[in-house]
Structure 1
Amino acid sequence: MSPTSEATETEAPAETAQAAQAEPAKAAEPKAEQAEPKAEAAPEQPAKRGRKPSTARKTRTVELTLTVTGTMDGEWQADLSHSGSRVVQGLQIPAAAVSRAAAELHEDISKAIESVLDVAREQHQARLAELEAELTKVKQALADLQDG
């Protein structure tokens, strides 16, 4: 073998070692590049899941809002809205109807409304007692005027 071929042979293992060291680095780079598209693909999968129509979209819902307001005088009224527009406004309803409707809807609703109605009943009973006492005084005054 000639000196040049020996040098080439001795250099070749060194170059091979350098190339082997460089190749894992190069091999690692494509793996990292390959890992990146997988990372990008992962967010796409939930997006595909999000594109599936939900049962809420399939089920048609109707939004109605019933607002019942009352005063301590026992005057109740109802307002009904459908999708933000008023359908009925200021409809007078009796307190007994409010109580029956609440009982039909749910026990918790009924309890809440009955507590409000109980307070109103107590106030009306107190006012009735005051008026009866006043009526008794007026009747007595009238009786005294007729005797005289």
Structure 2
Amino acid sequence: MPRPRPLSEEELEQLRAELSTGREPSVWFTSAAVGVEAGRSGRVVALGDPADGDYIQVRPTGSKDVLAFSATEVTTVKPPRKKKAAEPPTRKRASAPVAAASTPAASVAAPVRPTHTAKAEPATERPVAAPASTPPAQPPAKPKRGGRKPVDPPAVVVTLSSTAEGEWLVEVVTGKKRTVRGLSVSPGAVAQAARALHPDVSAAIETVLDAARERQRTRVEQLQAELEAARRMLSELSE
């Protein structure tokens, strides 16, 4: 049997496009899939890093577990339905010909008057053979589950960083992939989140916020002084 063809780049891009819209695209397992019957369908819930090998996370139909597979273990082409094998025709049992019982010719004899009456002997009953007992039906064997373990969700790391001007940036790393990079966050939202987390976190962030407030206050005073000097110069030029 030829080895299944791995998913092409176009098929992987199509899967990523459907996942980005919130849909879970359907795939079917090939004969290379371990622990899952070939031809069974499933839903792709995430795509990881191809360098990991088994990076396609699939939830098989009828299961709540999410398993990881490689690009050769699944396909986007629905396999054809298996045709049922034709049942062999049943043979009709030939009925044995019934032989006609020949009746012997009765001989005619002169009637004889019996001298005594013979007692009829009771007919003896033949024992009836008990029907053979049928063995109890064996319960169907439970299908063995595959040896794959459910895939744990990737770890998420959130990083907050501040600039010298008092701006705050947030980055998010999901597993090995950076999903959010350099997103600007207002200082008020950072302070509110810090107060909700832990007093030590709030104290550390408040120190940075106080320093940023002091720098901005000094800058405002400098700009006000420059504005006053510009106004005086304008007034002198207008006279």
- Tell me the TM-score range normalised by the shorter chain: 0.5 to 0.7
C-alpha deviations, 1:25-70, integer Å up to 9, x for none?
xxxxxxxxxxxxxxxxxxxxxxxxxxxxxxxxxxx67622111111
Stretches of 4+ aligned residues off by more than 4 angstroms = none
What is the SS of the residue equivalent to 1:74? coil
What residue number does 1:144 align with?
236
1:77 aligns with 2:169: yes
Task: State the AA in 1 paired with 2:190.
Answer: V
1:72 CA displacement: 2.2
What is the SS of the residue equivalent to 2:164? coil
For these two proteins, the number of residue pairs brought into alignment is 88
| Separation (CA, whole Å) in 1 of partners of 2:153 and 2:206 | 30
Q: 1:124 aligns with which of 216, 219, 233?
A: 216
Task: State the AA in 1 paired with 2:163.
Answer: T
| Separation (CA, whole Å) in 2 of partners of 1:94 and 1:68 | 11
| Separation (CA, whole Å) in 1 of partners of 2:175 and 2:198 | 23
| Separation (CA, whole Å) in 1 of partners of 2:187 and 2:172 | 17
What residue number does 2:182 align with?
90
Give unmatched runs, 5+ long, in structure 1. Answer: 1-59
1:84 CA displacement: 2.8
| Separation (CA, whole Å) in 2 of partners of 1:116 and 1:75 | 10
Larger helix proportion of the pair: 1
What is the SS of the residue equivalent to 1:78? strand
Q: Which has the higher contact order (CA 8 A, sep 6+)?
A: 2
TM-score (norm 2): 0.35
Q: 2:195 aligns with which of 103, 122, 129?
A: 103
What residue number does 1:48 align with?
none
Give unmatched runs, 5+ long, in structure 2. Answer: 1-151
Matches within 5 A, 1:42-81: 63-81=155-173
What is the SS of the residue equivalent to 2:224? helix
- The CA RMSD measured in Å over matched residues stands at 1.5
What residue number does 2:82 align with?
none
Identity score, percent: 38
| Separation (CA, whole Å) in 2 of partners of 1:108 and 1:61 | 29
| Separation (CA, whole Å) in 1 of partners of 2:176 and 2:195 | 26
TM-score (norm 1): 0.56
